[in-house]
């Protein structure tokens, strides 16, 4: 794309805000096409034009809730990543390609009704939960919402921690903030709570810390988003506790999606 030129396509949106966090993590907001309807927790394809003019597109969970008039995304920077090595340089006013066809399994409709929902995230797997945590429907469906976020280092928790802190003052969600329990852990840097969430579940420590009973398919539901190995390990723990995997077409007790990387 020539300097200063604009891409002419109905799929092009404009960046409205970029926030960089440490360790190659950043969030950005962009305009939302009026026609785009999505369910909180879904993902879309976004990208930039490549050198040959062909778009480089990747799946990104929408981190903003469905009622927000803009779209928010949360991304890691992979130094040699075809998209994120470019995306890291975006700034307000820049253009981004958006394919407005939202899909995904991490939607409230894929879970049967229950008292409690656990959101288990690692790294940028927090993104779909950033959407769901800001959606009033989450709190209408579940009395208690537990968000666990495991990262290697403390700085990687910043985006999630700020979002949780802001929740109480959110004009739309503030009244539900007391329903949320936040459980951040780190694995490679000292913090208040250390360890992989899988180990903390297996030892029972997470339940002790949160003052909650062990997982029970009668009252607990779960959504999982992280790297592949993490997803498989959590899935095994959930199934051991008697929870079954659900889908849009066949709601059940938990759903899983891989966190997207470049």
Task: Give residues in contact with ligand A2P (CB under 6 A).
Answer: 122-123, 150-152, 187-188, 196, 198, 226-227, 229-230, 233
Residue closer to ligand A2P, measured from CB, 96 or 201: 201
Q: Which is nearer to ligand A2P, 16 or 205 (CB)?
A: 205
Please give the Cα distance from 41 to 226 (Å, whole number): 14
CA atoms within 13 A on the CB side of 164: 19
Least distance from ligand A2P to the Cβ atom of residue 41, Å: 20
In the complex, minimum distance from the CB of residue 72 to ligand A2P, in angstroms, rounded to a whole number: 21
Compute the distance between CA of residue 157 and CA of residue 164 in angstroms, rounded to an integer. Answer: 11
Question: How many other CB atoms are found less than 10 A from the CB of residue 116?
Answer: 19
CB of 247 to ligand A2P, least distance (A): 23
Between residues 13 and 186, which has the closer beta carbon with respect to ligand A2P? Answer: 186
Query: Taking the complex as a whole, how short is the minimal distance between the CB of residue 260 and ligand A2P, in angstroms?
Result: 12
Write down the least CB distance from residue 233 to ligand A2P, Å: 4
Q: Which is nearer to ligand A2P, 51 or 190 (CB)?
A: 190
Residue closer to ligand A2P by CB (options 158, 227) is: 227
Cα angle: 253, vertex 173, 138; to 5 degrees: 10
- Minimum CB separation from ligand A2P for residue 10, in Å? 35
- Write down the least CB distance from residue 147 to ligand A2P, Å: 15
CB-wise, 143 or 189, nearer to ligand A2P?
A: 189
Dihedral of CA 38/162/113/197: which sign? positive
Query: How far apart are alpha carbons 225 and 219 in whole angstroms?
Result: 21
**What CA–CA distance (Å, rounded) separates 160 from 128?**
11
Least Cα distance to 38 among 75, 65, 9 occurs for 65
Considering beta carbons, is residue 141 or 196 the nearer one to ligand A2P?
196
**Does residue 18 contact residue 26 with C-beta atoms inside 8 Å?**
yes
d(CA 142, CA 149): 19
């Amino acid at each position: 794309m020539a300097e200063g030129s604009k891409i002419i396509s109905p799929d092009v949106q404009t960046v409205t805000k970029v926030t960089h966090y440490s360790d190659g993590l950043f969030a950005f907001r962009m305009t939302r096409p009026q026609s785009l309807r999505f369910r909180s927790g879904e993902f879309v394809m976004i990208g930039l034009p490549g050198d040959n003019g062909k778009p480089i597109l990747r799946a990104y969970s929408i981190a903003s809730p469905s009622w927000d008039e803009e779209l928010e995304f949360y991304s890691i920077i992979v130094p040699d990543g075809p998209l994120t090595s470019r995306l890291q340089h975006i700034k307000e006013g820049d253009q981004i390609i958006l394919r407005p066809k939202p899909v995904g399994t991490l939607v409230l409709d894929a879970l049967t009704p229950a008292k409690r929902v656990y959101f288990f995230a690692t790294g940028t797997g927090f993104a779909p939960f950033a959407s769901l945590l800001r959606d009033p429907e989450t709190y209408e469906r579940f009395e208690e919402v537990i968000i666990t976020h495991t990262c290697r280092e403390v700085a990687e928790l910043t985006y999630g921690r700020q979002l949780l802190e802001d929740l109480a003052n959110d004009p739309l969600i503030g009244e539900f903030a007391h329903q949320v329990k936040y459980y951040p852990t780190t694995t490679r840097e000292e913090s208040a709570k250390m360890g992989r969430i899988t180990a903390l579940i297996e030892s029972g420590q997470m339940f002790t810390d949160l003052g909650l009973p062990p997982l029970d398919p009668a009252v607990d539901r779960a959504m999982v988003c992280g790297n592949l190995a993490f997803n498989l390990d959590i899935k095994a723990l959930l199934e051991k506790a008697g929870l079954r995997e659900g889908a849009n077409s066949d709601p059940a007790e938990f759903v899983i999606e891989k966190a997207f990387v470049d």
